[in-house]
Amino acid sequence: MTEPKDKRCTEDEAVAELSSGMTIGIGGWGSRRKPMSVVRAILRSDLTDLTVVSWGGPDVGLLCAAGKVKRLVYAFVSLDSIPLEPHFRAARQRGAIEDEPYDEGMFLLGLQAAAWRVPFLPTRVGLGSDILRDNDRLKMVTSPFDDGEELVAVPALVMDAAFVHMNRSDARGNGQYLGPDPYMDDLFLGAAAKGFLSTERIVATQDLAQEGPPQSLLISRLLVDGVIEAPNGAHFTACEPDYPRDEAFQKHYAASAKSPEAWAEFRAGWLDLSEADYQAKLRAS
């Protein structure tokens, strides 16, 4: 029997698999367990015109502020302790990005449809609401059964690549979360042509069983093309129980949306650094 492949790579190697114009998914939830080291690598790259699919947080804000996003597919964009992501808000208000909003339930169904390889899933969510006006990808469909019920057809949210962050992983791509919620990261990977997992620590496969209960083994290696060992890689978002959200840094980031000059200063001081230099500066601050 062939041994499963060692899939370790770096952030820059994973980002090199992307091309401008692609649709990429970013896992996590708001300002929680986001693959931020990968987001920073995308920000440093020359990629443009991306369609980003996300339960949005600072991943969305950073990429919008850097001019990387053409279209945003989302259910919300929040920093949790700061209710509305300020760089996202600025991009939306000036019309810098195309907008594709979903209800949270619809968003989940779109990911599930893509992971199941079906073109849409039906739902009653959204009936009678303005979401049908604001998202022209949503269509109505008639039940083929005797009731003939009219339902909303949520399109599959198919992606070229998706990125998630886990607490632990082995080198083959089996990933484990140890915090309070899986955040649908498995659906992101299932919905994408290529999947990449960053992790706080790579451990031996047999050691995953020692870290948490069986249900915490969320990600199958079959969904993963690359594994990035990234200690503190979700900073400044929360990655419980390894570390909480860095609220002071998040406030500093949010303040950078106040003016172009503030953003330029924040980007030069933090985001233009290599990941190693970013983490070293954090430790020294």
Domain residue extents for the chain: 11-119+157-277, 120-155
**Average pLDDT of span 147-151:** 92
Instruction: Give this prediction's pTM.
Output: 0.95
Tens-place pLDDT, residues 222-280 = 999 999 999 999 999 999 999 999 999 999 999 999 999 999 999 999 999 999 999 99
pLDDT of residue 147: 85
More confident residue, 211 or 84: 84
- Residues 145, 137: contact at Cβ < 8 Å? no
CA 110 to the chain's CA centroid: 15
- Residues 17, 161: contact at Cβ < 8 Å? yes
pLDDT of residue 138: 96
Q: Give me the CATH topology for the region 11-119+157-277.
A: Glutaconate Coenzyme A-transferase (3.40.1080)
State the Cα–Cα distance between residues 205 and 139, nearest whole angstrom: 44
Record the tokens describing residue 262, joined without a space.
Answer: 């503030």
pLDDT of residue 146: 80
> Cα–Cα–Cα angle for 19, 115, 71, nearest 5°?
40
- Residues 85, 60: contact at Cβ < 8 Å? yes
**Average pLDDT of span 204-218:** 88
